[in-house]
Chains A and B, each alone.
Chain A
Amino acid sequence: MRVDWEIAKRGWRRYAAYPWATVAGVFTNTIFGFIQAYILLAVYRHRDVVGGYDPADSVTYVWLVQALLMTVQVFGWQELAVRVREGSIATDLSRPIDPQRYWLAYDLGRAPYHFLFRGVAPFVLGALLFRLHYPTTLAAFLFVVSLVLAVVVSLGFRFLYNLPSFWLLDIRGVVLLVVSVSLFFSGAIVPLAYFPAWLKTVADALPFAAILQTPVDVWLGKAHGWQIGLQLVWAVVLFALGRIVLARATRKLVVQGG
């Protein structure tokens, strides 16, 4: 436990070291938030409710998404792949700590930093300029639980799509493809509630809603209890898959150079 805590602190510090990057990121999230908010508000010129979302729900969705994008890292993460390519993975594998546990601890240190410094500011700016939907105390508590699970599911998924680096020298294509698909089905671009039925069925069969749409819906009071359970299931499934693939990968690992 002590070692996990120390690793988590490193995760926090790694990102806290670049304050200007944080300011710039907040600015960019805010600009995107404004554009997306006005697009969705234009939808309501012809209807009052879309997929169970009223205008305040939709705008709240927009600012929550902008606030959480970095926390749940939907934009792609290749730190593990980089270590494989550079050969540093050999050192990692000889350490007396399991790589999945190491990265989970690191990520649970990183996520609170991004939540506080990348998330709170754009949301507050959005809240000052738009009428938003605020959660009840219970929903706020469940939101935190759901968000932690979202980070875990996200890491399980990120760990998995970094593993092809053991077989391929350049995994940019793989990452680009899985990130774009997961981004869309996580609900980062349009709320899943807007999806036509057939597309919603596809989204429901995939783990990506658990990374972003579920915590947002918990905040809005539109999620069912089982959806948080489903996040837990996806976390277990993705971590188990990660273990199986990692075991196969390390068996064939050839470190280049060194």
Chain B
Amino acid sequence: MGEAVVLWRRLVGAQIRSQFQYRFSFGLTIVAQFAISFLDYLAIVVIFHNVPRLAEWSVQEVSFLYALSCITFGITDLLIGHFDLVPQLVRNGNFDILLVRPRGTLFQIVASDFQLRRLGKAAQGAIVLVYALASLHVRWTPWRVVVLAASIPSGILIFSAVWVLFGCIVFWTTDSGEFTNAFTYGGNFLTEYPIDILSAWLRRFLAYLVPLAFVCYFPALYIFGKPDPLGLPRFLEFMSPVVAVAACAVAGLGWRGAVRHYRSAGG
């Protein structure tokens, strides 16, 4: 495990150095990434320009959900966003190369294409988080601090599990990976808003079965001390870390099954 971390740092360090070689382009991509998330946030501002509350949620509360979603999704994208390259590897048969190297396939993909520019999204989320927390007047208790601190790693693990698990589909469909986008980028979009505005069937599917509600919604309810508009059991507000670990276990098993199913394209 320790050796894997050392190797990861060396591989990623080399990629970061190479990205600094094209400074103008690198700077521009960071600005672009920042601008994209800013425009996403502007969409929320535009909606609240028309209504004081979205269902039972104020602009500060939705800003908090948005910020937490951006930070966790942004960091996930930074760490494993290059999973989007797997469909290409499967289609052209280059996945073979990963199988013959003396390291796990998952590890090799994670260490393969680290793009520092993706930090732009998380950085923008952090700015919105500061605004949301400053304007929300949260009555901080030790437990609320714990729930907030735990929600970030939990959210990253849940998003990562979703990315890996739904990325496995490509071993069967050999498509361009767009199915996966519905759950990864779609998951980012979904968690920016409160889930009680969704219809019941969509919520069951995307918030509970795919456990996206545990990224922002449940931790936020606890931190705000807000009664759940859906009237769900309160212990769920503490469950994000447990759900995150469980989701990763399922994703790990799914990945092993998928790799075993891989048939080389014979490239």
Query: Taking beta carbons and an 8 Å cutoff, which residues of A are in contact with B?
Result: 18, 20-21, 23-25, 27-28, 31-32, 34-36, 38-39, 41-43, 45-47, 50-51, 168-174, 176-177, 180-181, 183-184, 189-190, 194-196, 199
- How far is A49 from B173 in the complex, measured between Cα atoms in Å? 43
Answer whether A173 and B28 are a contact pair too, CB < 8 Å, given A38-B198, A46-B52. Answer: yes
B182 adjacent to A32 (CB under 8 Å): yes
Q: Tell me the count of chain B residues lying within 8 A, CB to CB, of chain A.
A: 44
A43 adjacent to B51 (CB under 8 Å): yes
Contact of B197 among A27, A38, A194 (CB under 8 A): A38
CB distance from A220 to the nearest CB of B (A): 17
Contacts A/B (CB < 8 Å), 18 sampled: A28-B178, A31-B186, A34-B202, A35-B189, A35-B198, A36-B189, A38-B197, A39-B47, A41-B197, A42-B55, A43-B47, A46-B52, A168-B25, A169-B25, A172-B25, A180-B35, A189-B39, A194-B47
- How far is A36 from B182 in the complex, measured between Cα atoms in Å? 13
Contacts of A34 in B (CB 8 A): 198-199, 202
- How far is A194 from B26 in the complex, measured between Cα atoms in Å? 34
Contact of A27 among B22, B29, B179 (CB under 8 A): B179
Report if B42 contacts A (CB, 8 A): yes
CB distance from A9 to the nearest CB of B (A): 22
Residues of chain B in range 142-199 having any CB-CB distance to chain A below 8 Å? 173-179, 181-183, 186, 189-190, 193, 197-199
B182 adjacent to A31 (CB under 8 Å): yes
A170 adjacent to B22 (CB under 8 Å): yes
Answer whether A27 and B182 are a contact pair too, CB < 8 Å, given A21-B176, A34-B202, A47-B50. Answer: yes
CB distance from B183 to the nearest CB of A (A): 8
- How far is A47 from B179 in the complex, measured between Cα atoms in Å? 35
- How far is A194 from B51 in the complex, measured between Cα atoms in Å? 10
B27-60 near A? 1/0 per residue, CB < 8 Å: 1110111011001101100110111111100000
Answer whether A177 and B35 are a contact pair too, CB < 8 Å, given A24-B178, A31-B186, A35-B198. Answer: yes
The 4 closest A-B pairs by CB, nearest first: A173-B28, A176-B32, A24-B178, A42-B197
- How far is A27 from B198 in the complex, measured between Cα atoms in Å? 18
CB distance from A171 to the nearest CB of B (A): 8
- How far is A181 from B37 in the complex, measured between Cα atoms in Å? 11
B182 adjacent to A28 (CB under 8 Å): yes
B173 adjacent to A195 (CB under 8 Å): no
CB distance from A131 to the nearest CB of B (A): 14
- How far is A241 from B31 in the complex, measured between Cα atoms in Å? 25
- How far is A173 from B36 in the complex, measured between Cα atoms in Å? 11
CB distance from B20 to the nearest CB of A (A): 13
Contact of A199 among B26, B29, B46, B206 (CB under 8 A): B46
Answer whether A184 and B182 are a contact pair too, CB < 8 Å, given A34-B202, A51-B50. Answer: no
Contact of B176 among A18, A32, A173 (CB under 8 A): A18
A28 adjacent to B179 (CB under 8 Å): yes
A173 adjacent to B43 (CB under 8 Å): no
CB distance from B155 to the nearest CB of A (A): 18
B25 adjacent to A170 (CB under 8 Å): yes
B175 adjacent to A46 (CB under 8 Å): no
A174 adjacent to B28 (CB under 8 Å): yes
A184 adjacent to B42 (CB under 8 Å): yes
Answer whether A23 and B50 are a contact pair too, CB < 8 Å, given A32-B182, A170-B25, A176-B32. Answer: no
Contacts of B27 in A (CB 8 A): 173
A20 adjacent to B175 (CB under 8 Å): yes
Contacts of B28 in A (CB 8 A): 173-174, 176-177
Contacts of B179 in A (CB 8 A): 24, 27-28
Chain A residue nearest in CB terms to B169: A24
Chain A residue nearest in CB terms to B183: A31
Contacts of B54 in A (CB 8 A): 39, 42-43
Answer whether A194 and B50 are a contact pair too, CB < 8 Å, given A38-B198, A176-B29. Answer: yes
A194 adjacent to B49 (CB under 8 Å): yes
Chain A residue nearest in CB terms to B194: A42
A172 adjacent to B186 (CB under 8 Å): no
Contact of A177 among B31, B40, B182 (CB under 8 A): B31
Contact of B40 among A31, A38, A189 (CB under 8 A): A189
CB distance from A114 to the nearest CB of B (A): 13
A43 adjacent to B42 (CB under 8 Å): no
Answer whether A172 and B189 are a contact pair too, CB < 8 Å, given A34-B202, A195-B46. Answer: no
